[in-house]
Amino acid sequence: MAVTGDETESAATGDIPAYQLRSPNSGLAHSIMMAASPGNMQSPPPPHTEAITLKREVRLMKNREAARECRRKKKEYVKCLENRVAVLENQNKTLIEELKALKDIYCHKAE
């Protein structure tokens, strides 16, 4: 639990953490990519790569939010399933008791 949620704020303000600004050629293990910090970049990128970078940033931002939403929905779904389990367990318990009572009645009649 106990998560600050500060990255949400920074995303909302457009203040993108440095580690998220990576080279556009994906496919590498992301631990390697994490190591490639902007500080290592010596010369400014050619102008056309700026558009690519922007596109990538937009994509990352959208995906970030999509992942958040996806997790929220999944949590909700799991909660629903847990509720359903609880209800069915109660129903089952009730039915077992009812069956037991009916069996008792039937047995006493048979005597």
What is the binding site for DNA (CB under 7 A)? Answer: 1-5, 7-8, 11, 17, 19-20, 22, 26-31, 33-34, 60-64, 66-71, 73-74
Closest distance between DNA and the C-beta of residue 74, in Å?
6
Spell out the residues 6+ positions from residue 18 whose beta carbon is closer than 8 angstroms to its own: 37, 38
Closest CB to DNA among residues 14, 106: 14
Closest CB to DNA among residues 73, 103: 73
Closest distance between DNA and the C-beta of residue 57, in Å?
9
Closest CB to DNA among residues 41, 101: 41
Closest CB to DNA among residues 30, 103: 30
**Distance of alpha carbon 64 from alpha carbon 69, whole angstroms:** 9
Closest distance between DNA and the C-beta of residue 83, in Å?
17
Q: What residue spans of the chain are helical by DSSP H?
A: 6-12, 30-35, 47-110
| Contact (Cβ atoms closer than 8 angstroms) between residue 44 and residue 54 | no
**Distance of alpha carbon 12 from alpha carbon 102, whole angstroms:** 63
In Å, what is the CA distance from 80 to each residue of 12, 55, 94?
Answer: 30, 37, 21
Closest distance between DNA and the C-beta of residue 11, in Å?
6
